């Protein structure tokens, strides 16, 4: 496995660990520091499933709000690297209040010359509500 693919897998695992930790009292945006070590925080750009765009600070605020109010877990499907991009496919399961969802996600990670993540694009597949 390449160094960049390994970074993406560590990013996903660290996110899962921190989502669990976020349920403890006193969790703050500063607790995302282990994730920030994998990211070029000065140049980071995220585009979400609804085409919302965020820099690192906005993303950390979003993550903090989401992680403190949600349960999340995932199953690995596939990881592929091509032309400096890493594509991570997961099945993600989450619970937010009474809402439960299962989605297939594809995250595209772009790296800088220092091998830190500088861009993250997210794509989702989900079943229509019944």
| pLDDT band at residue 130 under the 50/70/90 scheme | confident
Identify the band that residue 128 occupies on the pLDDT scale cut at 50, 70 and 90: confident
Residues 6 or more apart whose CB falls under 8 angstroms from that of 108 comprise 85, 86, 87, 119, 120, 121, 122, 123
pTM confidence score: 0.93
Mean pLDDT for the chain?
Answer: 95
Question: Are β-strands 45-47 and 117-126 bridged in parallel, bridged antiparallel, or unpaired?
Answer: parallel
The answer to whether residue 42 scores a pLDDT higher than 80 is yes
Instruction: Find, among 40, 47, 105, 39, the residue nearest to 72 by Cα.
Output: 105
Q: Which of 130, 91, 83 is nearest to 109 (CA)?
A: 83
Q: Residue 61 has what pLDDT?
A: 97
- With a cut of 80, say whether residue 30 has pLDDT above it: yes
> Which pLDDT value is given to residue 84?
86
Here the tokens at position 123 are 């794509």
Cβ–Cβ under 8 Å, residues 21 and 27: yes
Packing angle, helices 56-69 and 3-21, rounded to 10: 50
Domain range annotation of the chain: 3-126
Cα–Cα separations (whole angstroms), residue 39 to 4, 63, 71, 72, 114: 12, 14, 24, 21, 10
As assigned by CATH, the class of the 3-126 domain is alpha beta
Give per-residue pLDDT as tens, 80-98: 999 989 999 999 999 988 8
Report pLDDT for 129: 76
Quick one: what percent of the chain has pLDDT higher than 90?
92
């Amino acid at each position: 496995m390449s160094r960049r693919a390994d970074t993406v897998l560590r990013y996903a695992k660290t996110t899962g660990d921190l989502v669990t930790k976020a349920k403890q009292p006193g969790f703050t945006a500063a607790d995302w520091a282990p994730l920030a070590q994998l990211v070029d925080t000065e140049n980071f750009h995220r585009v979400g499933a609804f085409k919302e765009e965020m820099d690192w600070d906005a993303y950390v605020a979003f993550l903090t709000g989401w992680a403190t109010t949600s349960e999340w877990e995932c199953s690995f499907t596939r990881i592929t690297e091509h032309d400096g991009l890493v594509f991570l496919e997961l099945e993600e399961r989450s619970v937010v209040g009474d809402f439960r969802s299962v989605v297939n996600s594809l995250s595209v990670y772009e790296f800088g010359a220092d091998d830190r993540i500088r861009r993250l694009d997210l794509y989702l597949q989900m079943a229509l509500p019944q």
